[in-house]
Structure 1
Amino acid sequence: MKTARVAYEGAIHLAIATDNGIELENGKQVFEEDMVWLPPVEPKTCFALGLNYFDHASELSFHAPEEPLVFLKGTNTFIGHLGVTKRSADVTNMHYECELAVVIGKQADHVSKEHALAYISGYTIANDYAFRDYLENYYRPNLRVKNRDASTPLGPWFVDAEDVPDPMNLKLRTYVNGEVVQEGSTKDMIFDVPTLIAYLSSFMTLNPGDVILTGTPKGTVDTKVGDEVVTEIEGLGQLKNTIVE
């Protein structure tokens, strides 16, 4: 099942993707543009990965890490589908990052790789913009690079884990103004989803609502004010966002 959180006529609703379009929990049929899309989940602790695809690490002239490079993101960063993200006038390199977002469904403490997928409630799409001008050390992502307000669109749909039989074989694609600028597959992650859950839960407890952003493949380029950016993951949908001044 695909579900979303939306604001419509002054209230927050659960929306469901059906064969006939989008339907609110009260049965009302609605159009995509008639709603304000919220992140489909309200992230609690959010973990993000740096350099988790071999080709992206090579693209940036970095060696592949020997263990996951994890940093945290604040809740201020998240916005929904069809939202806008500001590009400051002093920024010279702001690029998209299409990422599979993993949502934890039950408490996980010292979970093995073999059992890790059982702790996932579902998946969604993230576009984790990077403001690379402010990068001080790639192995310690600076707050100004990854924690700006409204800098991480999330959504549009939350897709149940049972509807994603193999999260490690999903195609990722990004479009800027309709042109394909990034393509990859989750099968090319350095540290796959089960490894990330086992790694994180080995030293801290993961809780329902925690989110793991799993990194992005190569193909990240600078974006400009006015650009429409669409990040797409096979089976999860398309997440649209516009860059504003």
Structure 2
Amino acid sequence: MPNPGGTAPRPALSLPGRGRRHGVSRRPSLPRHPGYSPRERGMSSVVHIVDDEEVIRDALAFLLASRGVPARGWASGEAFLAAQPLEDCACIILDVRMEDLSGPEVFERLKAQGTPPPVIFLTGHADVPVAVQALKAGAFDFVEKPFSDNDIVDLALKAIAARAAAAAKDAARRDLWARQATLSAREVEVMRLILTGALNKQIADTLGIAMRTVEVHRSRVLAKMGVRNAIELAALLAADDKREGWGG
């Protein structure tokens, strides 16, 4: 039957097997989620594909682009490491087996330079134990070949979202620390007592100051910390898992 839109359906993409590796098969993609594009979310947007077979790099770049995710391919781990394209890197899809450096070797070098973007390993059945070890070493996940386009792209988007969430959490933590740094020594003392649930009179007695002075300090603490009351203050500081002791 003729296509109502007047365009013949595009044939499914099928990549051949690769000897020691499995090929990539394509099935129809799920509809694009309205919020999927990293650029729409303000995330670092480029997924870097490190694989020594061009057909795999091109296929993955096409699949990612079809979901609004720009990608760049690298023919070797050495080329990727030499270019250091991490500033805009949202995620790395990294083949386990390559001619020069293996995927795990590239991953270890990235870790030696700091905290790398999320890394997803591509692995054949025989390499699954290697990929599992990479997970234990901090990789985001691995995909066993053959894989579907939906699986690999959805996993990449999940990794991108996780990286963005971690970045947002770090930014919020830095902002919180900056607010704490504006508190005077006395305001810190008052804040600690507020967090224990002490009332103004109890704080005044503990610190040997007037209740009116406590009220002024409490007001300044809440204003500087950007909260309206002691409950919000406690919730704000409880979310900061890098510092302890504010309540003691």
Structure number with greater CO (CA < 8 Å, separation at least 6) is 1
The structure that is strand-richer by fraction is 1
Which one has a bigger Cα radius of gyration? Answer: 2
Q: TM-score, normalised by structure 2?
A: 0.20
Q: TM-score, normalised by structure 1?
A: 0.20
The structure that is helix-richer by fraction is 2
